[in-house]
Amino acid sequence: MDALPQTPAFALHGVRAVVTGAGRGIGLACAAALAQAGAAVTLCARSEPEIAAAADAIRSAGGVAEAARLDVADLASVARFFAERPAFGVLVNNAGANRPMPMQDVAEADYDAVLDLNLKSAFFVAQAAARKMIAEGVRGSLIHMSSQMGHVGGPGRSLYCASKWGMEGMSKAFALDLAAHGIRSNTIAPTFVETPMTRPFFEDAGFKADVLRKIKLGRLGRVEDLMGAVVFLASGASALMTGTSLVVDGGWTAD
């Protein structure tokens, strides 16, 4: 009998990771998950007090973390941020926003605000990270926080859907461009997750009931539901995965 195959490691010891939008919600959970798996994590966001407190909490729990203020909408700052640091082995491209409204009510300013942050900034953050990885010969993983709304449509979500469908296509093309360099690109596509950003939406009882009808497992997502997914995509356990999406939606898109 041949030797039993060994499960690839989920551990991330010796890996440097960076998470955007890391001060709260999904971004904070991703940073905590990577640190708990052994990575040294840089938490980025515009709000310095939030990421400083988050990095302190990770260090207090025994992880390795630092906070670095970064406005991902400032592309010159993004370029400097990555140029001034050694290459990261993992990027979690998480910063994003939403302005729910019917498409007929969308103004140009709304379009620019959502698409510029969710898609344009995500593109150039990934580009800067990948350029440094290529320059230093670092093989790694780009993980983009997409949404189930990158796979389906939704009322009042034209801007968000446009940005997340764009992200899905962007990630697939990144995977093809970067495969020769050993850099993988994938998305995580969650359903509605209760976070500080989404919590006000669920104060509308009708909206919450409609969401729960569509999530077949019968509950809202929690940030903990995404922590395993981000560690998987960051680690050698997903070494043959690129250009695809992990849909963590409780069955929403299965219908």
Annotated catalytic sites, by residue? Answer: 160
Residue 76, φ and ψ in degrees, nearest 5: -65, -40
Distance between CA 164 and CA 211 in Å, rounded? 18
In angstroms, the CA 125 to CA 189 distance is: 19
Taking alpha carbons only, the member of 3, 7, 5 closest to residue 236 is: 7
CB atoms within 10 A of CB 9: 12
Cα 65 from Cα 43, distance rounded (Å): 7
Termini Cα distance of the chain: 44
Instruction: Reduce the DSSP state of residue 82 to 3 states and report it.
Output: helix
Half-sphere exposure of 124 (CA within 13 A, CB side): 17
